[in-house]
Structure 1
């Protein structure tokens, strides 16, 4: 599923991608006042509640780095149960079903179905229900008027970062209930890096959860794969970050066996960080001279990627944050002695 689509769903409350240490010592963002924190948290929680209480069908379009992709979404809520079906309309055919934390992806070209559980990365709304108010510490909200999107009237709100360690967001929310209908990711100068929006949207659509569940379970004729994810901690695997990156906290860490018989202690590792809105993943795997040719940096829309060799390991850092922020993660990773 497209990273931007995942972010929009995350914003809607669903469970669903060489600077030295001088930059790391930059003055931290000032703590948010109680009023600021309440304002941004109330606004984010309104978006979350809008998704929980509304069913809809829509076509979702993503524009990033000169490329465009689209998908059709069916979304339904029944009590605490959340269900979605996403059909890609561009690129390789994919059908993605999500029931709460269970995600099933159909790949008809290969007759493969991938079934896995995906945990929340600790983004809101879970973050708002804790004592941690770091979203308001690192972002502020500005109202920017109203506009019509996909046939509905929407309020426009700007999420402005208080430092240069993260990107900003311009968000359009449907006026009556607050459902996210459009999202832009902005660089540190306010330039649009990526845009995601519904081109058509039917609110309160007659989507049936039982029908989607039946479709999700029809795996006859497909090879079912269940990727193995072993929950762990970076420390237990021998890794530390020498200095914290402002606002980003570790959310989860997994070992991802790449083969049926991985060498113990050499399974690829994914360490995930978040500031409550943006996330960064640090991947570590054994260095392979045939596959890992040279270190590189890559920007594609809002998604930034850095690769580097660290002793006998290959490190890939990826996230929708400024490249300088990724470099702090890449340069700060250290193997424990």
Structure 2
């Protein structure tokens, strides 16, 4: 991943979710749900709902067209092929808007084909999936910070779906409205909500074929075919924040450290690149990117919003911090002011 400024950082994070994030002008309104005359809804805890959705995303084969919209009125879409075989997961994502791009994933191995430049970028990524990984932390902390309530039923892309609202219990995280296919639990639509219930961003299938004949072998052959492309490898070395000289002196409630990497910057190597420290509360995630301060590049501290994705930049002595996440600005500020240099 070649990142030097915030827009490039954000683009890299969007690619890490295997889908381009769009910016939309109008908040998308919630679809109508079932009336009270329909059968009683199934009572499940937040953990039960999330585990059902998580397992469905790993066990179903499907092909579909996926559309993302958020706060400024534009849309982005992609065609997705997903195959699974036990613990093995494979995906192919073809962008339908913007610059041509094809992304293939086999578990944590990813290759991105850029036809315009004839470049193929290979890298290793963690916690990939069609939607942000719903159970990144793998512990029981989620119910302490979110509640779940089924609010009815609806239809998405021709499938009957349960509609569930995940409501945060504090102001440090967003809420979610999720449509999950009734039979399998597969998430077919997701909205990110602010504190007032307004839709910041929506992601949904406009067309979906469940149990489609997607062959892992065929996807693997396409993934391996780099003929005519210049193959570049994104440098990324696993590390720890402490060994890099950083601590979070005041933790942010619910967010636990997930991973820490040193990444290449521009044409440099990982050894002289930036550090990425990732946190998650099991639903939302925050990345702290830290690199050496350069006056020519790091001109002004500030904050930016693109749909549900917020960013914040801040100088810390001889270092420059970029915090990015699908969380409120107050959460990023808590991370930024809690980060401290120890060596």
Normalising by structure 1, report the TM-score: 0.86
Specify the alignment match of 1:159 in structure 2.
166
Q: What are the within-5 Å matches in structure 2 for residues 58-69 of structure 1?
A: 58-66=64-72, 67-69=74-76
Find 2:111's aligned residue among 104, 109, 114. 104
Question: Using the alignment, how far apart are the partners of 2:335 and 2:268 within structure 1?
Answer: 30
Q: CA shift at 1:325, angstroms? A: 0.4
Deviations 1:128-160 (A, max 9, x none): 4xxx31111100101110011001111100000
Call closer, same or farther: CA 1:55–1:291 in 2, change over 3 Å.
Answer: same
Is residue 244 from structure 1 mapped to residue 262 from structure 2 by the alignment? no
Question: Using the alignment, how far apart are the partners of 1:119 and 1:260 within structure 2?
Answer: 23
Q: CA shift at 1:106, angstroms? A: 0.4
Q: What are the within-5 Å matches in structure 2 for residues 1-337 of structure 1?
A: 39-66=45-72, 67-120=74-127, 124-125=134-135, 127-128=137-138, 132-258=139-265, 266-337=272-343
Stretches of structure 2 lacking an aligned partner (at least 5 in a row): 1-10, 20-43
Call closer, same or farther: CA 1:157–1:59 in 2, change over 3 Å.
Answer: same
Q: CA shift at 1:237, angstroms? A: 0.6
Call closer, same or farther: CA 1:177–1:53 in 2, change over 3 Å.
Answer: same
Deviations 1:191-215 (A, max 9, x none): 1000010001111111111111110
SS in 1 for 2:220: helix
Normalising by structure 2, report the TM-score: 0.84
SS in 1 for 2:219: helix
Alpha carbons 1:5, 1:196 under 8 Å: kept: no
Question: Using the alignment, how far apart are the partners of 1:62 and 1:120 within structure 2?
Answer: 20
Q: CA shift at 1:7, angstroms? A: 5.8
Deviates more, 1:327-336 or 1:46-55: 46-55
What RMSD, in angstroms, separates the aligned Cα atoms of the two structures?
Answer: 2.1
Q: CA shift at 1:257, angstroms? A: 2.4
Call closer, same or farther: CA 1:309–1:140 in 2, change over 3 Å.
Answer: same
Q: CA shift at 1:267, angstroms? A: 2.4
Deviates more, 1:43-52 or 1:282-291: 43-52
Specify the alignment match of 1:30 in structure 2.
none
Alpha carbons 2:174, 2:327 under 8 Å: kept: yes
Residue correspondences, number = 305
Call closer, same or farther: CA 1:143–1:259 in 2, change over 3 Å.
Answer: closer
Q: CA shift at 1:260, angstroms? A: 5.3
